[in-house]
Amino acid sequence: MSQPPPRDDVKACCAAAYSSDVVTLLLGDSYHPGGTALTRRLADALALRPDDGVLDVASGRGTTALLLAETYGVRVDGVDYSPANTALARGTAEAAGHADRVSFTTGDAERLPYPDGDFTALVCECALCTFPDKCRAAAEFARVLRPGGRVGITDVTADTDRLPAELTGLAARIACVADALPLAGYVDLLSAAGLRTLRTEPHDAALLRMIDQIEARLNLARMTAPDRLAAADIDLAAAPTVLAAARSAVADGVLGYALLIAEKPPAGRP
């Protein structure tokens, strides 16, 4: 039986992949199923208020953080493992005139560089499934939230016992599939960290749409920008096989996508 790659290797591979221009080309600006529409739904479910302090974990190039600041008037800190993403997000925030409301830091979700109880809300979109130590990350989510604060998560769900071989390697792990949990697994994970799940929603159709979009963009890029694909330090040879396996897995109920809202209990309440 093959052994999983070391945790730091997974983090480094994810950081390299998600800071690649080619990955941005294939995934779009939001980097996750549902795009900004699902981000807005997540934010609405969190009942964000102006001047709330929000942490965006795995903030990428800053799309979600900027949307939250612009639309909801909140103050946002974004943290991402990739220094390249952090630099790009800072530049985007400055260009948009939001550097006073949005800041970005390079850091590890399993060791968040913030004090206890620093945030009113936390969002993490399509990233918890990639974290090697999910229990530690969930505990960090709880630590940095104020009592009564809420966590909003959207993520891939998976029946891991039924995943086909094409969706179990390192490439599939980076693609948010191989190490995803069932919906109940995320609820249990958050519960173990002291976070009570208030709401869950299935959004499997958003995952199917993203699979279709990635396939279409990849085919278009192969016709119009083959040199750009060839220059990328990413092995895309297996992409068609992984995409086909993922599409079948969604149809079979093995893969899905879900939204979760959880709460850190208010002080004095279990």
Instruction: Report domain extents, the chain.
Output: 7-263
Q: What is the pLDDT of residue 169?
A: 65
Q: What is the pLDDT of residue 270?
A: 61
pLDDT per residue over 18-55, tens digit each? 555 556 655 656 568 899 999 999 999 999 999 899 99
Q: What is the pLDDT of residue 74?
A: 97
Residue reference for tokens 């279990």: 270
pLDDT beneath 70: ranges in the chain: 1-31, 169-176, 178, 225, 228-236, 268-270
Q: What is the pLDDT of residue 31?
A: 65
The Cα–Cα gap between 257 and 251 comes to 12
pTM of the model: 0.85
> 78, 69, 121: which is closest to 97 by C-alpha?
69
Give the number of other CB atoms < 10 A from CB of residue 261: 20
The Cα–Cα gap between 245 and 160 comes to 14
Q: What is the pLDDT of residue 236?
A: 66
The Cα–Cα gap between 93 and 99 comes to 5
- The fold of 7-263 is Rossmann fold (3.40.50)
Q: What is the pLDDT of residue 267?
A: 76
Sheet order of strands, 119-125 included: 102-106, 75-80, 53-57, 119-125, 145-158, 255-263, 196-202
- Parallel, antiparallel, or unpaired: how do β-strands 75-80 and 53-57 relate? parallel
Helices marked H in 145-238: 170-174, 183-192, 204-224, 226-231
206-219 as b/e, with b when 16 or more CB fall inside 10 Å?
bbbebbeebbeebe
Residue 211 is encoded by which pair of tokens? 């699979």
pLDDT per residue over 241-266, tens digit each? 888 888 999 999 999 999 999 999 99
